Structure 1
Amino acid sequence: MHFTVFFTKTLSEKIFLVLTAGFVFSLQGFIVLLLLIPVAVCSPVFLPVDCTDLYNRGFGQSGVYTIYPGGPVSPVQVYCDMGCQDEPDSGKWTVVQRRKDGTVNFYRGWDQYRTGFGQASGEYWLGLENIHLLTLRKSYQLRVEMEDFEGGKTFVHYSTFSVGPELEGYKLSLSGFTDGGGGASLSAHNGLKFSTFDKDQDTHSKNCAMLYLGGWWYGECHAVNANGLYSWGSSTFGIGINWESWKGYEYSLKAITMKIRASDSNVSN
């Protein structure tokens, strides 16, 4: 008889793999299944909240994973940046936003910004509700990495990051800024509510999301427009992927990634 060896993390996963392999249709497989079920019922199912949970369970390779920020009924795909193998404290990052090639339209309405859009393998927005649920369950730090079209790269880091509930407008909270060269533009958005073209919660007399073609924590209107129009470098004032303290308002970045990590993980810049 041919046996397939499965390297899994939980007994429930073993049962699933035994079933899908067709092993249960043999007498030996049926006996194994009967032995595993009572133990598996009493064993906790591994539902990772974020990429830190995955890393701590032995998943050390960067890539797309499924996490459960709101529990078993809310699976969501996410890209995990697990860092370098020779630098174990450089990883465990859960990517909540990524722009890199302009393939995904980020000028979207409230419902899509609430639930998320795009593909975790490419450009995407994790969703305000998912980000809120993550930061409700744990304390997080934020790292933002940026790249221009000339090959320049920079980053900023905040030691605390959270997003409030929808009833409070998904308000952004940041503190503990460390400058990796990008400057503190994002700090200007601390305490602001999120706005889209169909839900204006900014402090401006006009709709900043409509003016600057994005969805963001706008105020009067922005110093950062990470979800603005992808414009391949030079852009009309304020409508591109702007980071004012690094490239100003008339330069749209090539790439930007926002990623968070549980605060009990070591910081590696």
Structure 2
Amino acid sequence: MKYMFVIFLLYITLQYIFGSTDFKGYFKCTQSDQSTSPEEDGYTNDLDTATELVTSTPSCPTNMVYSLCACQHTCDEPETCIWTCCREMNACICPHSLFLNSNECVTKRECGCFLSSQDIIIPVNKTHATPTCDSVCHCKNGKLLSCDVIYCDAYSQCVQRSAFVDNNGKEIFEGKCVRIQDCQSILDAELWFGEDSYKVYPYGLPDVALEVYCKITSPNGTVSTMIQRKLAASPTFHLGWLLFKDGFGSPTDEFWIGNDNLHYLTAQSHYRLRINMETDVGKLYYATYDNFVVDDELNGYEVTLGNFNGTVDCNAMDTHNHQKFSTLDRDNDNHVHQNCAMKNRAGWWYDACDKANLNGEVIEWSCFPKDESIALSEMFIDRDSPSI
């Protein structure tokens, strides 16, 4: 009777410590125990004392070993190490070289989405692009589907992005076709090799490459597409409609990207306009406008400007918003008696006439400091209005 009482006390003690009557070989823990440290879970030396009371060694499933608990790699998620037992306790686990698949341990070759040609396991419902980015293999519901050829059109680049590295140091890649539509996509397609000219293919543009100049325009590394560059006291921009339509000049000197090109570029996504202005003493100012759009030729290349921001004191482009483009031979401004493009010797989006004219012989911004003059203006567009 005395022994029965001692056994009963032992039973009550173990139930109090572990909150469970399951003492078959090793102790189970809750889901929260698996994602926190032993100290946070309240595991102390008392566990060691209690564990000593368990004398039987469990019979583990196939290929498992009874050892100190360690995180497991699975066939479904080979890149993730998951906890299936209480830390700092013995449990049935897979050896390091094997993967947990349901309730058994298997070699990676036995996983359903093992790709022998690359010696990797593709995670469930993920894809893997070959090193040459010419085909992609799919893992669907734990089974490897056939690999498909990646067809990127002439205007796109197949990009092989590293998704993760598995527990054997093998990289898993994702492949996708990236349309080379502007300078941002040059960066996205991992074709960026510095500020320079690149070929892009804006949506809707006839089947020819557009050469653009890509430049980093802000401290956070924004890569922008140059659309204009103008030096003061130069008459270069006193030109006709067709030249402004097609574009002219060099981005390293004076430059206009062309109104047709500007329309196709801004029609394909949400763009921000950035205007950089440098004074004759090297001081820098900028202005930005989100939701920048240039309409087509049928609508006179009308410009739309969104919210203003910048280091200049005023929004000098406010009266130019929703204005059509004017040149020396095409008067689309709101002035009753004269052609503003002739008066200012430059094509621009005039009202009647201007508070800002970045194409004029005298580069204008109405609220610019009186003791400073603008020696250089540059205009850029970039996608998605990144922060400055």
Same fold, TM-score > 0.5, yes or no: yes
- Structure 1 runs of 4+ aligned residues shifted over 3 Å read 42-45, 100-104
Aligned counterpart for 2:266 among listed residues 135, 141, 154? 135
Cα deviation code 1:150-178 (max 9, x no counterpart)? 22210111122111111111111001111
Higher relative contact order (CA 8 A, sep 6+): 1
Aligned counterpart for 2:358 among listed residues 210, 223, 226? 226
In structure 2, the residue matched to 1:44 is 153
Q: Does 1:61 align with 2:182?
A: no
Deviation at 1:105, TM superposition (A): 1.1
Q: Does 1:74 align with 2:208?
A: yes
Structure 1 pair 103–200 and aligned structure 2 pair: CA distance change class (3 A): closer
In structure 1, the residue matched to 2:364 is 242
Cα deviation code 1:170-191 (max 9, x no counterpart)? 1110011113225210122001
Which is richer in helix?
A: 1
What is the distance in 2 between the residues matched to 1:217 and 1:71? 23
8 A Cα contact 1:62 1:80, kept in partner: yes
8 A Cα contact 1:90 1:267, kept in partner: no
8 A Cα contact 1:155 1:182, kept in partner: no
What is the distance in 1 between the residues matched to 2:327 and 2:183? 28
Q: Does 1:153 align with 2:284?
A: yes
Letter in 2 for 1:144: I
Letter in 2 for 1:203: N
Aligned counterpart for 1:204 among listed residues 335, 338, 345? 335
1:28-39 to structure 2, matched below 5 A, reads none
Cα deviation code 1:53-106 (max 9, x no counterpart)? 10111215111112222446232221101358xx6x432201111124767711
Cα deviation code 1:184-222 (max 9, x no counterpart)? 101220010000010000000210000110000011100
Larger Rg, first or second structure (1 or 2): 2
Deviation at 1:10, TM superposition (A): 7.4
8 A Cα contact 1:128 1:170, kept in partner: yes
In structure 1, the residue matched to 2:303 is 172
What is the distance in 1 between the residues matched to 2:222 and 2:242? 31
Percent of residue pairs identical: 32
Secondary structure at the counterpart of residue 175 of structure 1: coil
Letter in 1 for 2:386: N
Structure 1 pair 112–99 and aligned structure 2 pair: CA distance change class (3 A): same
Structure 1 pair 192–167 and aligned structure 2 pair: CA distance change class (3 A): same
Cα deviation code 1:126-165 (max 9, x no counterpart)? 0111011111111101111101102221011112211111
Q: Does 1:183 align with 2:305?
A: no
Report the TM-score when normalising by structure 2: 0.52
The unaligned stretches of length 5 or more in structure 1 are: 1-8, 12-38, 230-239
In structure 2, the residue matched to 1:259 is 380
Structure 1 pair 62–254 and aligned structure 2 pair: CA distance change class (3 A): same
Structure 1 pair 66–245 and aligned structure 2 pair: CA distance change class (3 A): same
What is the distance in 1 between the residues matched to 2:297 and 2:345? 22
Report the TM-score when normalising by structure 1: 0.73
The unaligned stretches of length 5 or more in structure 2 are: 1-131, 135-148, 157-178
Which is richer in strand?
A: 2
Deviation at 1:267, TM superposition (A): 1.9
8 A Cα contact 1:189 1:219, kept in partner: yes
Structure 1 pair 156–43 and aligned structure 2 pair: CA distance change class (3 A): closer
Aligned residues: 219
| RMSD, aligned CA | 2.7
